[in-house]
Amino acid sequence: MGIIKAVTQAVSGSLADQWLEVYEPDDMGERTVFTSGVKIRKGQNVKGTDSTVSNGSVIHVYDNQFMMLVDGGKVVDYTAEPGYYKVDNSALPSFFNGQFKDTLKESLNRVRFGGQTPTKQQVFFLNLQEIKGIKFGTRNPINYFDSFYNAELFLRAHGSYSIKITDPLKFYQEAVPRNREHVNIEDINEQYISEFMEAFQAAVNQMSAEGIRISFVPSKGMELSRYMSDILDENWKQLRGMEVLAVGVASISYDEESQKLINMRNEGAMLSDPTVREGYLQGHMARGLEAAGGNANGAMAGFMGMGMAMNAGSSMTGAASATNLQQMQMNQQMQQAQMNQQAQQAPAGSQAAPSQAGASGWTCACGAVNQGKFCVECGKPAPAPSTEWTCECGTVNKGKFCSECGKPMMPAEWTCECGAVNKGKFCSNCGKPRA
């Protein structure tokens, strides 16, 4: 018993006039992995039974489907190629592999094909599409050592994954329950979701060992898919004929203790910046003044109480503020030293000159000498550089042309024909006037 391809011209006519029965897959939705074939048209075979596929029957096979012809529990023929196939009791198995080519050879050796016709013949279909949207979630938090936080954290993850049947014969033998004619992924997923979660924890631990930050885990779906495929390859692909195709992590949450550690580390990182600390201190004092103004016993009582508190803690607050300012000045000095070092190492003719020129800093109206864009004492911005220039006629201008004689602004430096760079009206090398 086997199948042969039916010519298109024959199929395009009235099938009932040529073959006894026509088989198509039963309802095959996106969650279906296995279903039986059903008759859609009966011809003259009125004495036939549902357990027999008559000689000459036609089987329809569509894209991403794997059809098997089973006789007495034995797979006697199959196809992975879409098209119309005619049942021929006199034909040997044809085995239309389609997309699988040589991948089914090992599975064929495990199936004992028979040519006799016992008592029951059936047509079955397997879904070769990607089975998507299989939900997963961690019942208990998964440990994750994060080298950035230098702590053992615990996370919960929820998302979905997808699988694909890569060896239909293995899948039929190992994953499909016996005597079932329709199987959805939920019907067989209880065992597999447990194995999936074990592999998921192993994959997450591997990401931890590679130094990936815990906050980056949701964006590592492709890496997780690769880890999961490697971990589940032996049990799922080699033994059951299916593999994990994609993993999508929808949400990552932390247990209460891990969230406290993360918040403490982030807050400490922010407060290590002296400008943030000073802003936090000033904001705290401002909030205290605002609260004193709304005191239920009157603003005066509130301000008196705050004054007593400020007198008691003024030394501590002042010391903290002074420490912040001192560290900000040290940071600015270190930055300026780095700029000076880079300027000294820069080759001649580079941008080192402006850096060295600005190394002397500027003096604010309050008397403080600064190197940055704002005064470290009063916070005033540095004055804008002067845009004035003096024309040859002696007029001081700010625009691009002299307001007295109309001559355009000339660059401060000019190069003579002899190659010397000058700033005055005459060349310091050959004495020629500026052109």
Full DSSP string of 403-415? TTT-PBPPPS-EE
**Tokens, residue 146:** 């994060």
Q: What pLDDT is recorded for position 170?
A: 92
Residue recorded with tokens 């096979």: 61
pLDDT tens series, the chain, 435 aa: 677 877 544 444 444 444 568 899 998 999 999 999 998 855 444 445 567 787 888 999 999 999 999 888 888 889 999 999 988 876 656 666 666 655 565 565 555 444 444 557 889 999 999 999 999 988 888 888 888 777 788 888 888 999 999 999 999 999 999 889 999 999 999 888 988 888 888 888 888 888 888 778 777 777 877 777 778 877 888 888 999 888 888 887 877 887 777 667 666 555 555 565 555 555 555 555 555 555 555 555 554 555 555 554 445 555 555 665 666 666 666 767 777 776 666 554 444 444 443 445 788 888 788 877 878 777 788 887 767 777 778 888 877 778 888 777 776 677 888 888 887 777 878 878 876
Strand partners, 59: 23, 85
* C-alpha dihedral (370, 374, 376, 379), degrees to nearest 10: 140
d(CA 156, CA 434): 76
Domains of the chain: 2-127 (no CATH), 131-259 (3.30.479.30), 278-324 (no CATH), 406-435 (no CATH)
Q: What is the 8-class DSSP label of residue 77?
A: E
Q: What pLDDT is recorded for position 39?
A: 87
Q: What pLDDT is recorded for position 321?
A: 59
Q: What is the 8-class DSSP label of residue 176?
A: S
Which sign does the torsion angle of CA 171, 172, 177, 182 carry? Answer: positive
